[in-house]
Amino acid sequence: KATSESHEFGTEVPRLMNLIINSVYKNKEVFLRELISNASDALDKLRHLALQDPTVMADEPNFEIKISSDPGNRLLVIRDTGIGMTKQQLLENLGTIAKSGTADYLKHLEKQKATAAADGESAVNDLIGQFGVGFYSAFLVADKVSFTSKHPSEDKQYVWTSTGGGAYTIHEDLPENDIGRGSMITLHFKDSETEYLDQSRLEGLVQKHSSFINFPIYLWTKSSETIEIPADEVEEAEAKEEAEDKKEDEDDDAEVEDDDDEPKNGDDQPKTQTKVIEKESWQQVNTQKPIWLRDPKTVDESEYDAFYQSFNKDDKNPLTYTHFKGEGKVDFRGLIFVPAQQPSDYIMSFQSVVNNVKLFVKRVFITEELGQFLPKYLNFVRVLVDADDLPLNVSRETLQNTRELVTIKKSLVRKTLEMLDQLARKDSFKYKAFLDQFGANLRMGITEDTPNRQKIAKLLRFPSSNGDDLVSFTDYIGRMKKGQKQIYYVAAPTLEKAQSSPYVETLLARGYEVLYMLGQLDEYTMQTLTSFDDKPLRNVAQSGIEFGDEDEETKETLESLKTRFTPLTDFLQKHLSEHLESAVVSNRLTKSPCAIAASRMGWSGTMERFMKAQNR
């Protein structure tokens, strides 16, 4: 008899399980999505391996996922013919959590959970949604889980079992249980969660969360089917029945029936009959062709939403998306989604490299680990690319730099910016939500993506002296006064401060519009951008400002005032030399008697505050 070894979980697992098992998390159904997605990953890995070594397919030619439930015994079995796990891999993958940053993340969650119950719930929601508790989500519904697995590199098959406490066991399986290749996960359901064992419930869940899985998912299904019995078989059966009747008649010597009185369709007409039979069989639940291969005109928004949710493990709909066909140097299909929310800072902070592009070649998933593929400012988008042809026998680094992928990357960036421009045009409400979440990314983009700088600048919006609406540079330029050559802006920490800024006074008095830059990064961004559509950006808090509408007379007046007030400016400069670079007479103010301005090349007050905060 096989001996069973006991192992303790790595330190983080019981903590994670504790959070899961005791969570008030209502959306327990995600367990199925997680297990199916693992099965799909395992099939992807196998397909990849089989490209190099076809012999791994020997025992089992199919790539598939099969699900069967046994409500009587409270059991659910999920079987995949993927790559499976060796004993060592079972120990590593199901005994510890390899993901970096897990310990920190758990600490964060536990703290949150302790402080506020409602937050705690959303924290666990977050955990399952974004971090993906993955396999351990089985314990949301099951009190015992066993995981049988066989990897192509091992003859033996192992069984991992746990009841969710601090420990698990592993034993070698008996030869008669051999599953060939892949994994079989058996969930022993909690009494309270048996609703998920219902066949139609399972079918619904697969449809809802996993219909886009790229391998067939079969459900063991009991169904009643109406079948047609062909005419000749009906006649045959009738003839047999008649013969039997006759025999019975003879045997029993019962009253003689006149067969000819029975209603018939006429003897020489062929006839069929129908019959209802109960049957059990494997039914494929996900029959759709992958959404990205379909013609965008035939896919409606709700399908994109559902796809996005399963693709990105998000329980919200995307803010916007684009679906397109790239043609030319390399043919590919692309799907780009913008999530409704910026991933929480916490997650962003430990994921320095974001893998947000899933790469397929001719429907086959290749990798999502392209490293930092898109520019960082686009870390928030979620992308799927299916290329018709790529050189795959190369390392990731080489792959990234192939002509094909460089082309794809450029087109993804372009399509993303176009998509955002579209959103701004057709849905200002959603666009506002986008800016609230990802406005800082656009500002980063101005610095990071020099070639697209103007395109990104076109997407920026600011409050302005013109009214309550947010204003684009294009709007601003459309309203520029005759003779105005520059775009005026002021940076301030709040709208009130911007509006009451003494620098703004003159401009408003002269009828110029001023953009209010209230974001921390704005001033820095404007200094990088320097101009939009060949109109220089001008920070009105910097000295030496010139308007396009000064006439000779005002210039002369200013000169005479300068002369007249020289004693005062000299006096100020002398006595305040520690604090001032210079004191000048200016025509910039209308109501305030004086203002402190930053020098033309220097930092403004806002910028100084920002830099100080950065250095702290």
Site for ligand ADP, rule CB under 6 A:
34, 38-39, 41-42, 80, 82-85, 93-94, 132, 134-135, 183
Query: Which of the 8 DSSP states describes residue 130?
Result: I
| Distance in Å, CB of 182 to ligand ADP, minimum | 7
Give the one entry of Mg ion, ligand ADP, none that residue 386 binds, where binding means its C-beta sits below a cut-off of 5 to 8 angstroms depending on kind.
none
Q: According to the annotation, is 273 in a ligand binding site?
A: no
Q: Which is nearer to Mg ion, 132 or 605 (CB)?
A: 132
**Residue at 14: amino acid letter:** P
Q: Which is nearer to ligand ADP, 183 or 472 (CB)?
A: 183
Q: Which is nearer to Mg ion, 31 or 476 (CB)?
A: 31
Give the one entry of Mg ion, ligand ADP, none that residue 438 binds, where binding means its C-beta sits below a cut-off of 5 to 8 angstroms depending on kind.
none
d(CA 207, CA 213) in angstroms, rounded, equals 10
134 binding Mg ion? (CB under 5 A): yes
Q: According to the annotation, is 22 in a ligand binding site?
A: no
Number of residues that bind Mg ion (CB under 5 A): 2
Nearest CA to 279 out of 198, 224, 358 is that of 224
| Distance in Å, CB of 101 to ligand ADP, minimum | 13
82 binding Mg ion? (CB under 5 A): no
Q: What share of the chain is helix, strand, coil (3-state, %, to 5)?
A: 45, 20, 35
Give the one entry of Mg ion, ligand ADP, none that residue 85 binds, where binding means its C-beta sits below a cut-off of 5 to 8 angstroms depending on kind.
ligand ADP
Q: According to the annotation, is 464 in a ligand binding site?
A: no
Q: According to the annotation, is 539 in a ligand binding site?
A: no
Q: According to the annotation, is 307 in a ligand binding site?
A: no
Helix 30-52 × helix 199-210 angle, to 10° = 60
Give the one entry of ligand ADP, Mg ion, none that residue 121 binds, where binding means its C-beta sits below a cut-off of 5 to 8 angstroms depending on kind.
none
- Name which of residues 376 to 415 contact Mg ion (CB under 5 A): none
User: What number of other Cβ atoms are within 10 A of residue 11's Cβ?
Assistant: 14
CA distances to 41, 226, 405, 534 from 46, in Å = 9, 39, 24, 55
The structure tokens listed for 360 are 């397929």
Q: Which stretch binds Mg ion (CB under 5 A): 132-140, 286-294, 315-323, 354-362?
A: 132-140
Q: Which is nearer to ligand ADP, 93 or 606 (CB)?
A: 93
| Distance in Å, CB of 80 to ligand ADP, minimum | 5
Q: According to the annotation, is 72 in a ligand binding site?
A: no
**Strand 467-471, strand 462-464: pairing:** antiparallel
| Distance in Å, CB of 41 to Mg ion, minimum | 6
The structure tokens listed for 419 are 């998509």
Give the one entry of ligand ADP, Mg ion, none that residue 120 binds, where binding means its C-beta sits below a cut-off of 5 to 8 angstroms depending on kind.
none
Give the one entry of Mg ion, ligand ADP, none that residue 390 binds, where binding means its C-beta sits below a cut-off of 5 to 8 angstroms depending on kind.
none
Q: According to the annotation, is 331 in a ligand binding site?
A: no
Q: Which is nearer to ligand ADP, 99 or 107 (CB)?
A: 99
Q: Which is nearer to Mg ion, 38 or 146 (CB)?
A: 38
Distance from the first to the final alpha carbon of the chain: 65
Q: Which is nearer to ligand ADP, 38 or 162 (CB)?
A: 38
| Distance in Å, CB of 128 to Mg ion, minimum | 11
Q: According to the annotation, is 135 in a ligand binding site?
A: yes
Q: According to the annotation, is 441 in a ligand binding site?
A: no
| Distance in Å, CB of 42 to ligand ADP, minimum | 3
Helix 428-448 × helix 403-426 angle, to 10° = 140
Distance of CA 116 to the CA centre of its chain: 27
Give the one entry of ligand ADP, Mg ion, none that residue 183 binds, where binding means its C-beta sits below a cut-off of 5 to 8 angstroms depending on kind.
ligand ADP
Q: According to the annotation, is 85 in a ligand binding site?
A: yes
Give the one entry of ligand ADP, Mg ion, none that residue 69 binds, where binding means its C-beta sits below a cut-off of 5 to 8 angstroms depending on kind.
none
Length of the chain: 616
| Distance in Å, CB of 13 to ligand ADP, minimum | 10
Q: Which is nearer to Mg ion, 38 or 606 (CB)?
A: 38
**Residue at 192: amino acid letter:** S
d(CA 27, CA 556) in angstroms, rounded, equals 75
Q: Are the C-beta atoms of 274 and 299 separated by less than 8 Å?
A: no
Query: Which of the 8 DSSP states describes residue 598?
Result: B
The structure tokens listed for 418 are 């176009």
Tell me the CB-side half-sphere exposure of residue 536, using CA atoms within 13 A. 10
User: What number of other Cβ atoms are within 10 A of residue 96's Cβ?
Assistant: 15
38 binding Mg ion? (CB under 5 A): yes
Q: Which is nearer to Mg ion, 137 or 379 (CB)?
A: 137
| Distance in Å, CB of 360 to ligand ADP, minimum | 18
| Distance in Å, CB of 154 to ligand ADP, minimum | 13
Report the SS3 class of residue 510: coil
| Distance in Å, CB of 539 to ligand ADP, minimum | 47
Query: Which of the 8 DSSP states describes residue 265?
Result: S
Tell me the CB-side half-sphere exposure of residue 238, using CA atoms within 13 A. 15
Q: Which is nearer to Mg ion, 38 or 506 (CB)?
A: 38
Nearest CA to 607 out of 527, 545, 499, 496 is that of 527
Residues 6 or more apart whose CB falls under 8 angstroms from that of 611 comprise 603
d(CA 186, CA 161) in angstroms, rounded, equals 9
* Bridge partners, residue 76, by sequence: 69, 187
Binding residues: 34, 38, 80, 85, 93, 99-101, 130-135, 396
Q: Give the footprint of Mg ion on this chain (CB under 5 A).
A: 38, 134
Annotated binding site for ATP: 34, 38, 80, 85, 93, 99-101, 130-135, 396
